[in-house]
């Protein structure tokens, strides 16, 4: 550990002072203070305002109530083992860990290493995500690892990497948004998904800037827009191409920028010109005057941005859709210029860092690719193993879940099935597409172990459940949607029966033959992560805990030349530390990179790449049997699968359960009234929830939030058709019909 590392608080000091830390939910990673308050029920922490620059004191209801989930009344505090009775019953840690190690080892011995799978989560700290990838590839020897962040921004990541050479959600700070001239916000309802971020767009308009929102529903975010476009779900690609066609036809391209900083423009221009505006109007349902108005607002602003979110990304053509929006930015000379460019609004708390450091099927730490020989050599050197010992790329998230279990006839059909699964910080029974099928596959596993803080719907299926510490009970880094690496600091001692994920992996590794290489101190893990990421696209090597605290977070890439591949300090055996205090860059070294691409893009020639793309229909279009379109999303008071927020009374009062939003004219045709149960039926299943009538949605579209299990589970309906590049499922559009329930 660095000699100049910040002093650690003791349990006693944590009981008497306010701790600066961060919210456990979305990718804003809002700063907050946590103060012990013995008078509170259960002695819970009190949330205080923070001057952290991202949220500037603001918090949403989820952040303000986050300490509620720390209560032993609602969270796991003892390991559980499924006994002969079929019930999950309390067990000691020794028994539970022995059972897990035996189950994973037995599966590996009988069926091979790839019969063991690992499924991680976008809420894990960088240290835990890094260690999970290392654990899977070294201890288990499996290639079968992915995480629920695949369902978040993988399409934007793929498109950004193709165009710019690297993906970072926002390649500029949020503070740039109020100072630009126009923002096109595609498929984001941030007023409900990350409310403190709305202030940046309010300030944008107060400064004279314009906001264009693209969403099939008139959401709370769309209400703030100067222009709201309501395309038919699944047609965002055509919309972007139609706008680019108009940019070309009206002579609004930046030819000097295109010539100096890009390649591939002739092919992308030809593809866009095949999407004439009248055709795009018919495909999308967006009137041509609105299309022209959007182009005019965007092009006449000196500075402008396009920001995408799950709407255009969670489609079977999500990568091409994001590429089309990037092409629009490139053609008008935006990326790599101050106060302009393209960005993606990451959703999950560590959706960015979670995939940068090894829990994604095809990646190693530092955003290195597993199939790259040089990348394998560098990381293997840090880990103290031979490069050839590392398994190759594995299945993507849905493909991994679909491959679970080998019961009955499936055993012959899937000899490569995953028979045992380690599930950490994810709840696919609620969050995965075609969720009933995924639940069936999880039930068919020979062995399932779940590490979580609550007894989620997925944990209820497990053979062993391990209760782990959560945000306020541990220290670790996260990477927010700006690429800002921040530090969550431990504010309270965990319950006696809970252990950190790092401790769990250390104990399991030791039981499976790895006595060294899996430290439990998060700062020690981060020091190793620095070396593993050095020289990679997501280079954290110049970042230290002390720097993060001193600078309100550090933006990657932030290299440290002394840790670059090939240097002596970059070598070591698993768990070995570099104790040289000169590597603390709190006062010197690389400043970090708040704004990327100002001089060059991260491609071999330094130029951004246009990608020629063309519109194609959704994987599943309406027909006589299923005449409507379903789209899904979030509501203000709940988060993701709801496993934690559904345990908070005040949040449940605000959003007590699922609903089906539909237009009054559609309800009239069905004969459904406000609050009456209606059934939404797709080719994959049926979900029932109360009707919520609203003129804020298209008449050919229905909307369901996806936070709930049971008969109102929206993901029972969704389509697992995958994007060919990102392997993102098509959550945002599928064909359905309505029935009175």
170-345: CATH topology: Dimethylsulfoxide Reductase; domain 2 (3.40.228)
Q: What is the pLDDT of residue 39?
A: 55
Q: What is the pLDDT of residue 542?
A: 97
State the alpha helices, DSSP H only, in 367-500. Answer: 373-383, 397-402, 410-413, 428-431, 435-443
d(CA 383, CA 324): 40
Give residue-wise pLDDT tens across range 239-258: 999 999 999 999 999 999 99
Q: What is the pLDDT of residue 70?
A: 94
Strands (E), 150-239: 182-186, 210-214, 227-229
d(CA 154, CA 377): 26
- Cα atoms in the 13 Å half-sphere on the side-chain side of 243: 32
State the helix-helix crossing angle for 288-300 and 236-249, rounded to 10 degrees. 60
Q: What is the pLDDT of residue 567?
A: 54
Q: What is the pLDDT of residue 40?
A: 53
- Return the structure tokens found at 463: 């053979």
Do the Cβ atoms of 728 and 711 come closer than 8 Å?
A: no
Domain limits, the chain: 95-151+350-523, 170-345, 628-740
d(CA 721, CA 374): 33
> Nearest-5° angle of CA 283, CA 289, CA 293?
110
Backbone angles phi, psi at 263, to 5 degrees: -135, 160
Q: Which residue has the tokens 């590597």?
A: 583
Longest alpha-carbon distance in the chain: 74
Q: What is the pLDDT of residue 611?
A: 98
Helix (H) or strand (E) holding 8: none
628-740: CATH topology: Barwin-like endoglucanases (2.40.40)
**Pick from 646, 216, 131: nearest CA to 431:** 646
**What DSSP letter does each residue of 543-583 carry, written as one string?**
--HHHHHHHTSEESP---GGGSTTSGGG---TT-----GGG
Do the Cβ atoms of 140 and 389 come closer than 8 Å?
A: no
Q: What is the pLDDT of residue 577?
A: 29
Q: Which parts of the chain register pLDDT below 50?
A: 1-5, 7, 568-587
Q: What is the pLDDT of residue 44?
A: 77
d(CA 710, CA 641): 12
Pairing relation of β-strands 677-682 and 685-693?
A: antiparallel
For the domain with range 95-151+350-523, which CATH number is right: 1.10.15.40, 3.30.2010.30, 3.40.30.10, 3.40.50.740? 3.40.50.740
Q: Which residue has the tokens 């290299």?
A: 559
Q: What is the pLDDT of residue 586?
A: 42
d(CA 563, CA 526): 13
> What CA–CA distances, in Å, run from 109 to 421, 444, 509, 512?
15, 19, 16, 12
> Nearest-5° angle of CA 626, CA 629, CA 633?
135
User: What is the SS3 assignment for 659-727?
Assistant: CEEECHHHHHHHCCCCCCEEEEEECCEEEEEEEEECCCECCCEEEEECCCCHHHCHHHCCEEEECCCCC
User: Rounded to a whole number, what is the distance in angstroms from the first to the last CA of the chain?
Assistant: 61
Q: How many residues does the chain have?
A: 741
Give residue-wise pLDDT tens across range 566-614: 653 333 333 332 333 333 444 468 999 999 999 999 999 999 999 999 9
- Return the structure tokens found at 266: 């002739």
Q: What is the pLDDT of residue 565?
A: 79
Residue 338: CB partners within 8 Å, gap ≥ 6? Answer: 176, 303, 595, 598
């Amino acid at each position: 550990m660095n000699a100049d590392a910040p002093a650690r608080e003791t349990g006693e000091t944590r009981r008497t002072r306010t701790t600066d830390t961060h919210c456990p939910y979305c990718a804003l990673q809002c700063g907050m203070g946590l103060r012990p308050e013995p008078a509170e029920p259960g002695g819970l922490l009190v949330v205080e305002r923070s001057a952290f620059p991202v949220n500037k004191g603001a918090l949403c209801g989820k952040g303000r109530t986050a300490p509620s989930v720390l209560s032993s009344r609602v969270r796991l505090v003892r390991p559980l083992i499924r006994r002969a009775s079929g019930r999950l019953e309390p067990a000691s840690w020794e028994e539970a860990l022995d059972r897990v190690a035996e189950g994973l080892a037995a599966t590996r011995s009988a069926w091979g290493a790839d019969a063991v799978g690992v499924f991680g989560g976008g809420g894990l700290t960088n240290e835990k995500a890094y260690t999970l990838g290392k654990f899977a590839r070294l201890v288990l020897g499996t290639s079968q690892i992915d995480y629920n962040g695949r369902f978040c921004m993988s399409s934007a990541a793929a498109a950004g990497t193709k165009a710019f050479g690297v993906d970072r959600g926002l390649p500029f700070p949020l503070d740039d948004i109020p100072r630009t001239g126009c923002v096109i916000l595609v498929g984001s309802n941030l007023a409900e998904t990350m409310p403190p971020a709305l202030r940046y767009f309010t300030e944008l308009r107060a400064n004279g800037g314009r906001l264009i929102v693209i969403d099939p529903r008139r959401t709370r975010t769309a209400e703030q827009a100067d222009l709201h476009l309501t395309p038919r779900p699944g047609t965002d690609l055509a919309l972007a191409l139609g706008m680019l066609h108009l940019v070309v036809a009206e002579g609004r391209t930046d030819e000097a920028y295109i010539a100096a900083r890009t390649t591939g423009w002739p092919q992308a221009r030809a593809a866009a010109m095949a999407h004439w505006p009248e055709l795009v109007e018919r495909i999308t349902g967006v009137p041509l005057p609105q299309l022209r108005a959007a182009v005019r607002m965007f092009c006449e602003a000196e500075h402008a941005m396009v920001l995408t979110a799950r709407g255009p990304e969670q489609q079977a053509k999500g990568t091409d859709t994001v590429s089309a929006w990037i092409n629009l930015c490139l053609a008008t000379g935006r990326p790599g210029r101050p106060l302009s460019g393209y960005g993606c609004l990451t959703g999950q708390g560590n959706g960015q860092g979670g995939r940068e450091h090894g829990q994604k099927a095809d990646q190693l730490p530092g955003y290195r690719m597993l199939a790259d020989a040089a990348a394998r050599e560098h990381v293997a050197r840090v880990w103290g193993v031979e490069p050839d010992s590392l398994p190759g790329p594995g299945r993507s998230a849905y493909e991994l879940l679909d491959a679970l279990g080998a019961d009955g006839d499936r055993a012959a059909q899937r000899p490569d099935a995953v028979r045992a699964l380690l599930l950490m910080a994810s709840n696919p029974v609620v969050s995965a597409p075609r969720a009933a099928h995924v639940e069936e596959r999880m039930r068919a596993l020979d062995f399932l172990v779940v590490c979580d803080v609550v007894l989620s719907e997925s944990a209820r299926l497990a053979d062993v459940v391990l209760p782990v510490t959560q945000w306020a009970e541990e220290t670790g880094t996260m990477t927010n949607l700006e690429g800002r690496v921040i530090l969550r600091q431990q504010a309270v001692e965990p319950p006696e029966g809970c252990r950190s994920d790092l401790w769990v992996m250390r104990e399991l590794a030791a039981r499976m033959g790895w006595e060294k290489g899996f430290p439990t101190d998060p700062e020690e893990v981060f020091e190793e992560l620095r070396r593993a990421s050095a020289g990679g696209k997501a280079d954290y090597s110049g970042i230290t805990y002390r720097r993060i605290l001193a600078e309100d977070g550090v933006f990657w890439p932030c290299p440290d030349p002394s840790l670059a591949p090939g240097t002596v300090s970059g070598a070591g055996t698993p768990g070995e530390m570099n104790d040289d205090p000169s590597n603390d860059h709190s006062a010197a070294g690389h400043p970090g990179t708040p704004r990327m691409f100002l001089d060059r893009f991260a491609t071999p020639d330094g130029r951004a790449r246009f990608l020629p793309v063309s519109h194609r229909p959704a994987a599943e279009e309406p027909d006589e049997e299923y005449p409507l379109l379903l789209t899904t999303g979030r509501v203000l008071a709940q988060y993701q699968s709801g496993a934690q927020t559904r345990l908070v009374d005040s949040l449940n009062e605000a959003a007590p359960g699922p609903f089906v939003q539909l237009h009054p004219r559609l309800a009239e045709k069905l004969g459904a009234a406000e609050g009456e149960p209606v059934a939404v039926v797709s080719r994959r299943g049926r979900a029932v929830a109360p009707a919520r009538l609203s003129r804020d949605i298209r008449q050919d579209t229905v909307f369901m939030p996806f936070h709930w299990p049971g008969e109102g589970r929206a993901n029972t309906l969704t389509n697992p058709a995958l994007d060919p590049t990102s392997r993102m499922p098509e959550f945002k559009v599928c064909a359905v019909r309505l029935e009175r329930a």
